[in-house]
Amino acid sequence: MATRQLQDAGAASPPPFPEGWFFIARRQDLEKTEIIQKTWMGVDIVIWRDDDGIVCVAEAYCPHLGSYLGPDAGGQICAGRLVCPFHGFEFDATGQCVKTPFAAPPRAARLRVFETHEISGMIFAWWGIDARPPQWQLPQESPEEDGWGRPVVQTTRFPGHPQETTENAVDLAHLTYVHGFDRVQQVGPVTVEGPLLRTAFDFTQRVALAGVPVGEFDVSAEVIVLGLGYSLVEVHERSIGMDARLWTLATPVDGTLIDLTLISQTRKVRHPKRRIVGMAFLPTSLRTELLNRFALSQEMIGVRQDEVIWSRKRYRPRPRLCRSDGEIMTYRAYCAQFYPQAEDARQPWDSEITPIRLATG
């Protein structure tokens, strides 16, 4: 079943493209290929970098006579400029046409560009309602890299909405019911400060490696959500003494599908607190790489479990909650800021945004 439940729910659905910063690509991807073409927030875009490494994210249609600019139609990069395949107009990384083969470039020949921001090689672009400029920023500094292993990445695409996928960060009941975590405990309240939402919880998880039980992980997770396209979970596993970071980046594709990109990074574990089955005699770097891949694979198993639910669910604007649900409505109230037009118009889907605090923990 690949139908789009959020849209089927009609007026009760949040708009498909909330305002915020949404993942575009990794710098590494741009180094491998000259131009990336994709559909992002319902817009066909091209992404490239100039000779100084400046990244441009632009709408993929030429302002001259409308050619598609992606490699599929023959778009290419020449001296750091995007060259249109139809009449050879050249665009710099600001989106301005700076050269044509036959005449002076028209001043008004300019691509629609999206502002970008980079964290640890992850490139995000701002999606503003009515094309308005960024209303808030992602973290300005990348996290410490010293002592951390190489990030590993995986993307999966399915019918869904970034509000629904991010909601799982505050939905503690599903951690036990869907993922089989034990002893899930909220740590402190969910806090909201403008576009920043924080939550933290502890849990334990029985794990197996290549079918061999490796014991129980004792995990504390601190979650930072910055809009509906960026969430970072800082994980501390107590039994081994392992720290990990997991970014979950939900990006709407076309109003129906989303790309969910997981990026996992593990701190080098030089002296594990306990023996890790099959890894005891490995050098630190290899152990870190394996642990990281293991962490990502565990997370992907979790996403696949969630995906079964996400891709078939219908948004309930007035969920009938019970006392063990955590702070779903605090989260829903937080989300309303990312649909500023709809907020003004008081759409039915945000008609019940008063936060309620439920007993947790």
From residue 316, alpha-carbon distances to 148, 194, 298 in Å are 40, 24, 29
What does the alpha-carbon distance between residue 320 and residue 324 come to, in Å, rounded to a whole number? 12
> Do 82 and 49 form a contact (C-beta atoms < 8 A)?
no
Angle at the Cα of 127 (from 296 to 78), degrees rounded to 5?
85
Helix (H, G, I), strand (E, B) or coil at 358: coil
Angle at the Cα of 243 (from 241 to 247), degrees rounded to 5?
155
Closest to ligand FES by CB, 87 vs 275, is 87
Pick from 32, 66, 65, 61: nearest CA to 49: 32
Residue 46 as a binder of ligand FES (CB under 6 A): the answer is no
Q: DSSP secondary structure string, 176-204?
A: HHTT--EEEEE-S--EEETTEEEEEEEEE
Site map 171..210 versus ligand FES, x via CB under 6 A: ----------------------------------------
From the CB of 65, what's the least distance to ligand FES, in Å? 4
Taking CB within 5 to 8 Å according to partner kind, which of Fe ion, ligand FES, none is near residue 62? ligand FES
| Lookup: tokens for 175 | 């951690």
What does the alpha-carbon distance between residue 122 and residue 109 come to, in Å, rounded to a whole number? 29
What does the alpha-carbon distance between residue 266 and residue 236 come to, in Å, rounded to a whole number? 10
Residue 76 as a binder of ligand FES (CB under 6 A): the answer is no
Of 293-332, binders to Fe ion (CB under 5 A) are 306
Judged by CB under 5 A, which of 13, 168, 264, 292 binds Fe ion? 168
* Size of site (CB under 6 A) for ligand FES: 9
Pick from 131, 155, 136, 146: nearest CA to 25: 155
Taking CB within 5 to 8 Å according to partner kind, which of Fe ion, ligand FES, none is near residue 168? Fe ion
Of 142-171, binders to ligand FES (CB under 6 A) are none
DSSP 131: G
Judged by CB under 6 A, which of 35, 36, 47, 84 binds ligand FES? 84
Residue 87 as a binder of ligand FES (CB under 6 A): the answer is yes
Of 300-329, binders to ligand FES (CB under 6 A) are none
Judged by CB under 6 A, which of 64, 198, 236, 312 binds ligand FES? 64
Judged by CB under 6 A, which of 4, 39, 71, 86 binds ligand FES? 86
From the CB of 113, what's the least distance to ligand FES, in Å? 16
Closest to ligand FES by CB, 66 vs 319, is 66
CB under 6 A: which stretch of 31-39, 81-89, 131-139, 141-149 binds ligand FES? 81-89
Residue 77 as a binder of ligand FES (CB under 6 A): the answer is no
Closest to Fe ion by CB, 138 vs 295, is 295
What is the DSSP pairing of strand 116-119 with strand 231-237? unpaired
Closest to Fe ion by CB, 120 vs 168, is 168
Element of type H or E holding 91? strand 90-91
Residue 259 as a binder of Fe ion (CB under 5 A): the answer is no
CB under 6 A: which stretch of 3-11, 58-66, 175-183, 220-228 binds ligand FES? 58-66
Instruction: Say how far residue 15 (Cα) sits from the centre of its chain.
Output: 17
DSSP 110: B
- Residues forming contacts to ligand FES in the complex (CB under 6 A) are 62, 64-67, 84, 86-87, 89
- Residues forming contacts to Fe ion in the complex (CB under 5 A) are 168, 306
